[in-house]
Amino acid sequence: MGLFTGLSISASGLSANSTWMDVIANNIANANTTRTPQGGPYRREEVVFSALPSSSFASVLQGATTSQNAVGNGVAIQSIVQDPSPFKLVYDPSNPNAVNGYVQMPNVNTSTEMVDLLTASHAYQANVTAFNAAKQVDVQALQIGK
């Protein structure tokens, strides 16, 4: 592990959580969008995270030989996928998008989105705290070397 590894790991978490909050905001903004350019209602999006693998052969080898997981290098957004859950049907015969009186509404639940937003916000704040702690440790380590 290098001197700035902790900063790098926390920075990757900050970036990933920022993207997650952007996707949540987009979901909330489109919670009532019944017609998209692709046709049909808006479909909720979800973020898929993945761990960044350790780049050091020695750490991977050590993890394999001691049956422990090797320390990774942070987190990344693997992809942003659409939620396959069904759309909600709302009876509104006056709506121009209605079929047999029913309108397909987006599969966005604003309560779920708000809980996810709180989770992402807390994860972001935890990464800020970890980043600041790693920065203080790195500064102290550099001062020891003087």
Q: For 65-100, how does the pLDDT look when each residue is reduced to its tens digit (9 = 90+)? A: 554 454 568 899 999 999 999 999 999 999 988 999
pLDDT at 39 over 80: yes
What's the whole-model pTM score?
A: 0.81
Most distant CA pair in the chain, distance: 78
Domain boundaries, the chain: 7-31+45-82+108-144
d(CA 140, CA 44): 45
d(CA 19, CA 17): 5
Residue 33 pLDDT level (bands cut at 50, 70, 90): very high
Q: Please give the average per-residue pLDDT across 117-126, as a whole number.
A: 96
pLDDT at 107 over 90: yes
Quote the percentage of the chain above a pLDDT of 70. 85
Closest to 16 in 3D by CA, of 44, 55, 50, 45: 50
Q: Which residues pair with 49 in a beta bridge?
A: 77
